[in-house]
């Protein structure tokens, strides 16, 4: 029964005919669903987010399909909104299936460890109830402080960027290649960040504040979980990495020093550049970073870790090498996506070549008019259009800002062109509501740094 809801896209990715968009699958499933299910996702600070959905009527013949769609929905909620306790008002068999998933399945246990234990200090708990806790959440303004002499930095998986900013104007910027993912000694990360900060400091009369962005989850400058440190042992993570940015602040004399998720800074940079709100920022770099600015211009307590949100409902979809789960954003919107699509495109490179070098090769081919490279960008753009349609079920969107190394060069324009085509073809009601944006070269080089520098 599941396969009848795995709808083939009307705009087919040229290199992935097996792609089954979450947006189309959910739309088809929801037409037949009749049984209400209410969900409440609770965070450790007491914030609670409500989501109402429906499942198919019937018993045994639909149980596996209902369990599949409910788990994919909860997966998206966990990585986009965040939380550790899930309250479910719905059929008991579905609640039991979710409980088994987070207790027994490898991908469920990964989510429970990373989201539950590492971020919220509890393993994921699924509670069957008829009375949901009351919805409660807060939003807060982020950044936009430009006065004084500031340093902004961004830590990516293949490079680290830094800029010196005086009253909102960039007076110096630098980009340094590094390889943080599999470094076992966090001193490597510490020394690299200090090196970048010192380069910027040399171009300022003084340093009033430092703001930074990096992939991962940060609470009060403390690292909860971050792929940049995946090579560090659990013991060293606890003893050194968790307080790394607190240590950096002490090193710089205790001046205002804030670090947040790079996706949030991406969205903030977009909001500042566009002079608009209701912005989703999506950065396609070594991984996939997401951030969201509400229609009121604030950020939420949501995680927005879109690298792990399901966008392809085909059970045979590519699997993420870290979590082991299938169909998640990182395999569709990152350098990993480019590397994965090389084979289907017929582009042969040394498999040992690092992902950034594979991307450079594709960009070079694209600049030469190579049709194989063009198909890679077309495929990613089609992925993006269907994913954004799915995201609108969770985010109020007016603007989508897309950036990151994957979008550099002619390929970035093609990605947005194909994403717009998907909305116009399959979701015309969204095509007139959502605008896609690709930052110009100045915004690419400086927008993220200015936004990061404006945090404290």
Q: For residues 166 and 115, state if they share a domain.
A: no
Residue 61 has a pLDDT of 80
Kindly indicate the confidence band of residue 142, based on its pLDDT and cuts at 50, 70 and 90: confident
Q: For residues 358 and 219, state if they share a domain.
A: yes
For helices 355-367 and 335-345, angle between their N-to-C axes, nearest 10 degrees: 60
Q: Cα–Cα distance between 300 and 298 in angstroms, integer? A: 7
Kindly indicate the confidence band of residue 442, based on its pLDDT and cuts at 50, 70 and 90: low
Please give the radius of gyration of the chain, using alpha carbons only, rounded to the nearest integer: 22
Which domain range does residue 196 map to?
138-456
Residue 31 has a pLDDT of 96
Residue 1 lies in a domain: no
State the chain's mean pLDDT as an integer.
93
Given 128, 160, 178, the domain boundary residue is 128
Q: For residues 361 and 340, state if they share a domain.
A: yes
Residue 5 lies in a domain: no
Residue 444 has a pLDDT of 63
Residue 96 lies in a domain: yes
Q: For residues 203 and 318, state if they share a domain.
A: yes
Q: For residues 75 and 167, state if they share a domain.
A: no
Q: For residues 365 and 247, state if they share a domain.
A: yes
Q: For residues 296 and 253, state if they share a domain.
A: yes
Q: For residues 338 and 241, state if they share a domain.
A: yes
Residue 17 has pLDDT above 80, yes or no: yes
Given 72, 103, 128, the domain boundary residue is 128
Residue 258 lies in a domain: yes
Given 78, 105, 128, the domain boundary residue is 128
Q: Which of 12-16, 37-41, 294-298 has the lowest mean pLDDT?
A: 294-298
Q: For residues 124 and 156, state if they share a domain.
A: no
pLDDT one-digit tens code per residue, 372-401: 999 999 999 999 999 999 999 999 999 999
- 171 contacts 207 by C-beta, under 8 angstroms: no
**266 or 455, which is more confident:** 455
Residue 84 lies in a domain: yes
Average pLDDT over residues 29-38: 97
Task: Using a pLDDT cut of 90, give the percent of the chain over it.
Answer: 78
Q: Cα–Cα distance between 48 and 20 in angstroms, integer? A: 31
Q: For residues 240 and 114, state if they share a domain.
A: no
CA dihedral 434, 439, 443, 448 (to 10 degrees): 60
Residue in this structure with the two tokens 């961004």, named with its chain if needed? 154
Q: For residues 115 and 228, state if they share a domain.
A: no
Residue 157 has pLDDT above 90, yes or no: no
The closest alpha carbon to 439, from 392, 409, 403, 394, belongs to: 403
Q: Residue 104 corresponds to which tokens in the numbers above?
A: 């027994």
Segment of 174-178, 287-291, 419-423 carrying the highest mean pLDDT: 419-423
Q: Residue 424 corresponds to which tokens in the numbers above?
A: 């116009």
Domain total of the chain: 2
Residue 18 lies in a domain: no
Those residues whose C-beta lies under 8 Å from the C-beta of residue 350, and which sit 6 or more positions away, are none
Q: Which of 33-42, 219-228, 322-331, 378-387 has the lowest mean pLDDT?
A: 219-228
CATH number at residue 320: 3.30.420.40
Those residues whose C-beta lies under 8 Å from the C-beta of residue 93, and which sit 6 or more positions away, are 63, 67
Residue 281 lies in a domain: yes
Q: What is the pTM of this model?
A: 0.89
Q: Cα–Cα distance between 439 and 453 in angstroms, integer? A: 18
Q: For residues 78 and 159, state if they share a domain.
A: no
- 299 contacts 283 by C-beta, under 8 angstroms: no
Residue 128's beta-bridge partner residues? 88
Kindly indicate the confidence band of residue 20, based on its pLDDT and cuts at 50, 70 and 90: very high
Residue 70 lies in a domain: yes
């Amino acid at each position: 029964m599941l396969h009848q809801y795995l709808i083939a896209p009307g705009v087919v990715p040229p290199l992935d005919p097996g792609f089954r968009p979450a947006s189309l699958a959910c739309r088809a499933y929801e037409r037949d669903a009749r049984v209400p299910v209410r969900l409440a996702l609770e965070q450790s600070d007491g914030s609670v987010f409500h989501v109402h959905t429906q499942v198919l009527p019937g018993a045994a013949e639909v149980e596996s399909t209902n369990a599949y769609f409910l788990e994919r929905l909860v997966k998206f909620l966990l990585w986009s909104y965040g939380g550790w306790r899930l309250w479910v008002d719905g059929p008991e068999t579905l609640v039991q299936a979710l409980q088994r998933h987070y207790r027994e399945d490898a991908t469920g246990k990964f989510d429970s460890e990373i989201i539950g234990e590492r971020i919220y200090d509890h393993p994921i708990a699924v509670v069957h109830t008829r009375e949901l806790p009351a919805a409660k959440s807060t939003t807060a303004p982020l950044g936009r402080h430009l006065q004084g002499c500031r340093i902004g930095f961004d830590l990516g998986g293949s490079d680290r960027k830094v800029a010196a900013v005086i009253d909102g104007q960039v007076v110096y910027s630098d980009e340094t290649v590094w390889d943080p993912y599999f470094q076992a000694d966090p001193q490597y990360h510490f020394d690299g960040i200090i090196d970048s900060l010192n380069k910027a400091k040399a171009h300022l009369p003084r340093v009033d504040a430092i703001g930074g962005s990096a992939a991962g989850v940060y609470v009060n400058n403390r690292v909860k979980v971050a792929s940049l440190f995946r090579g560090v042992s659990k013991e060293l993570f606890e003893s050194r990495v968790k307080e790394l940015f607190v240590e950096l602040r002490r090193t710089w004399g205790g001046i205002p020093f804030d670090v947040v998720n790079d996706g949030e800074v991406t969205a903030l940079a977009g909001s500042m550049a566009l002079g608009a709100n209701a912005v989703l920022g999506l950065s396609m770099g070594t991984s996939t970073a997401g951030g969201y600015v509400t229609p009121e211009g604030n950020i939420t307590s949501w995680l927005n870790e879109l690298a792990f949100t399901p966008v392809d409902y085909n059970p045979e979809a590519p699997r993420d090498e870290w979590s082991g789960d299938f169909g998640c954003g990182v395999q569709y919107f990152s350098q990993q996506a480019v590397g994965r699509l090389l084979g289907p495109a017929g582009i042969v490179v040394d498999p040992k070549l690092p992902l950034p070098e594979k991307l450079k090769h594709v960009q070079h081919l694209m600049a030469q008019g190579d049709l194989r490279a063009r198909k890679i960008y077309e495929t990613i753009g089609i992925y993006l259009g269907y994913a954004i349609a799915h995201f609108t079920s969770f985010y109020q969107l007016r603007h989508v800002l897309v950036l990151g190394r994957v979008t550099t060069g002619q390929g970035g324009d093609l990605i947005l062109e194909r994403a717009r085509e998907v909305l116009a073809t399959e979701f015309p009601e969204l095509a007139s509501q959502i605008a896609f944006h690709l930052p110009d070269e100045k915004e690419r080089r400086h927008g993220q740094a200015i936004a990061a520098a404006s945090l404290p």
